[in-house]
Amino acid sequence: MSAPEARAVPRPRPGSRVGRFLSIGWTVVRYRLDEIALAVAPESVLVRLLRVVLIGRPRTAGADRLRRALEHLGPVFVKFGQILSTRRDLLPAEYADELAKLQDRVPPFDTAEAIARVERRGGKPVEALFATFEQTPLASASLAQVHAATLHSGEEVVVKIIRPNIQRVIAKDLALLYLIAAFLERVSHDARRLHLETLVADYERTIFDELNLLLEAANTATLRRNFTASDLLYVPRVYWEHSSEDVLVLERIHGVPISDVAGLEARGTDMRKLAERGVETFFTQVFEDNFFHADMHPGNIFVDVRDPADPSYIAVDCAIIGRLTEADQTYLAKNLAAFFDQDYGRVARLHAESGWIPATTDVAEFETVIRQLCEPIFERPLKDISFGHFLVALFRTARRFDMEVQPQLVLLQKTLLNIEGLGRQLYPDLDLWHTAKPFMERWMEERYGPLALARRLADQAPSLIDALPTLPDLLLTAAAKLNDLDRLGAEQRAALGEVTRALSERRRGARWRQAMGAVLAVAGCGLLWPFAEGASGGDGGVTALLGGVLALFGAFLVGRG
């Protein structure tokens, strides 16, 4: 089996981008998402325009309409809804419950197409590849669906199959996400601080990696190996001989879905132990293995309850894996330890040392603000403190210091929030801080305690002895070399700045045209909506003509950009 390779990303044609944008605008109108947008952004020009052109009241609840709209728009938007569904600390309960249906209830594609793809990749009829192959999917997600099967050797397996023609659909949506991110970064300081275009680029790499099932197979095998000797987590076996880029065959697992809280309680599961083990599993992946499952929504997590008093987790769908650099891992651990100890001065210094806040930041002032934020929180019992709410409050507070979102930490933050949300759903009195603090203290001692320092010195002793004779020369020439590096760095920054300014000027006009086109196209769809519903008035022809012209002209501007 060859090593997994990154596949080429299909780029949408301008015409297809225009058509997709019109489709999105029509979906916003069809499902009356203006009602939701009005609650979130009542001052938005686009929302106010929609309120003018749309008539009547929606017939169904907003949560249901949002879920159906995301399903209608396809995989990129379904993925977005999946992420939202795990953020119960930020969403009303009815929205979280409805969006949770996106985890594994996406309408399936035709089984005949699934079998054809399996046969194409396996080079044999499905009967020759499997002893049995279930026609009805076990689950259907945004990018793939899963069928149960049995190998001729008798092992129960699941067969994951990528949806047909999904790459081109994703490419169209990503092109529009880049447009939106570029426009927001142009008009919003907060958007620039969030590095929206960088986040879209990271998401592009992530979602196309998910389409290469050999990468998922490799991730699954690594995570399985990391927990071979542990009772915390079980990861299914990969059947490499039956797997390819768009077909993955895994051992079939049998467990209770993590979302079935009533079922877990009915089996007498130790819910406190299960919740605390979830936290321990997360920190083990992040700090001991530096290889963590970064898509831990409820559809991907099951529980082994063969011994209800000693439950453990089963993880599937290892397509998205996170890693940290050694420096970020260290700074993150030190920050968490400082927060646990309520040492706000150390938190402020660590943020400055790591570059997470600008070098010009007044560290003492930053410490004061962190203290004002944290002290009221820590006055409450730790079990009542939501780490999710804490991170959101910290992020909002740090805006005044131009604290930037660290793209390399986004997956980690999302995963930690997911873990806390799941843990509190299982055991509402979960004390994340109490569970995590001993782990962090032990990890810090192992990495930076006296014994760890002695081990590193012993490991590096031969290299240090070899380097001693050259030390005087290095000290004498270091200052001159540093000056040369500073000069070269300044010259490169100046040249890069000129290139960046030239590119920005060239793109500014195109982005503005696209943004205005977006507003006009959605407004045009809104004017057309009453006629699609069968409503018309005496001047209906003029209104419909105006709506059509606005929609087409807006789509033209989007495509031209």
DSSP strand pairing (256-257 vs 301-304) = antiparallel
Residue 117 has pLDDT above 60, yes or no: yes
Helix 432-448 to helix 326-340 angle (10° resolution) is 130
Residue 71 has pLDDT above 60, yes or no: yes
Q: List, as one string, the DSSP characters of 452-472.
A: HHHHHHHHHHHHHHHHGGGHH
The kind and range of the H/E element at 543 are helix 540-560
Cβ contacts of 280 within 8 Å, gap of 6 or more: 232, 435, 439
| pLDDT for position 1 | 42
Contact 465, 414 (CB under 8 A): no
**Number of neighbouring beta carbons within 10 Å of residue 489:** 10
pLDDT tens readout for residues 251-271: 999 999 998 999 999 999 999
Residue 326 has pLDDT above 80, yes or no: yes
Residues 118, 158: Cα–Cα separation, whole Å:
12
| pLDDT for position 113 | 93
Give me the mean pLDDT over the 52-77 stretch: 70
Q: Is the dihedral of CA 44, 47, 51, 56 positive or negative?
A: negative
Contact 393, 358 (CB under 8 A): no
| pLDDT for position 232 | 94
Q: Is the dihedral of CA 248, 253, 259, 260 positive or negative?
A: positive
* Strand partners for 105: 140
| pLDDT for position 525 | 65
Give the model's confidence band at 230: pLDDT under 50 very low, under 70 low, under 90 confident, else very high: very high
Residue 422 has pLDDT above 70, yes or no: yes
Give me the mean pLDDT over the 18-35 stretch: 70
Rg value, the chain, Cα: 27
Residues 150, 140: Cα–Cα separation, whole Å:
19
Select the highest-mean-pLDDT range: 329-338, 414-423, 479-488: 329-338
Residues 239, 537: Cα–Cα separation, whole Å:
63
Burial zone of 163 (CB within 10 Å; 0-12 exposed, 13-18 middle, 19+ buried): buried
Give the model's confidence band at 41: pLDDT under 50 very low, under 70 low, under 90 confident, else very high: very low
Residue 277 has pLDDT above 80, yes or no: yes
Structure tokens at 173: 């949506």
More confident residue, 61 or 522: 61
Residue 439 has pLDDT above 80, yes or no: yes
Residues 144, 78: Cα–Cα separation, whole Å:
12
148 φ, ψ to 5°? -80, 145
Residue 379 has pLDDT above 80, yes or no: no
Residue 40 has pLDDT above 50, yes or no: no
Q: What percent of the chain has pLDDT over 70?
A: 64
Q: Which of 104, 246, 295, 304 is catalytic?
A: 295
| pLDDT for position 8 | 46
| pLDDT for position 178 | 82
Catalytic site residue 384? no
Structure tokens at 45: 């020009």
DSSP strand pairing (247-251 vs 256-257) = unpaired
Contact 191, 184 (CB under 8 A): yes
More confident residue, 488 or 143: 143
More confident residue, 413 or 220: 220
Residues 63, 522: Cα–Cα separation, whole Å:
21
Average pLDDT score over the chain: 76
| pLDDT for position 474 | 64
Structure tokens at 106: 């996406």
pTM of the model as a whole: 0.68
More confident residue, 88 or 262: 262
More confident residue, 345 or 531: 345
Residue 9 has pLDDT above 70, yes or no: no
Residue 57 has pLDDT above 60, yes or no: no
Give the model's confidence band at 7: pLDDT under 50 very low, under 70 low, under 90 confident, else very high: very low
In order of 156, 477, 489, 494, the CA distances from 484 in angstroms are 64, 11, 8, 16
Give me the mean pLDDT over the 201-214 stretch: 83
Give the model's confidence band at 247: pLDDT under 50 very low, under 70 low, under 90 confident, else very high: very high
E strand residue ranges, 200-279: 233-234, 247-251, 256-257
| pLDDT for position 24 | 72
More confident residue, 36 or 455: 455
| pLDDT for position 490 | 66
Contact 280, 443 (CB under 8 A): no
Using the structure block, give the residue that is written with the tokens 């086109």: 517
Burial zone of 137 (CB within 10 Å; 0-12 exposed, 13-18 middle, 19+ buried): buried
In three-state secondary structure terms, 251 is strand
Residue 274 has pLDDT above 50, yes or no: yes
| pLDDT for position 269 | 96
In three-state secondary structure terms, 159 is strand
Structure tokens at 495: 């040249």
| pLDDT for position 561 | 58
Q: List, as one string, the DSSP characters of 506-520.
A: HHHHHHHHHHHHHHH
Give me the mean pLDDT over the 343-367 stretch: 85
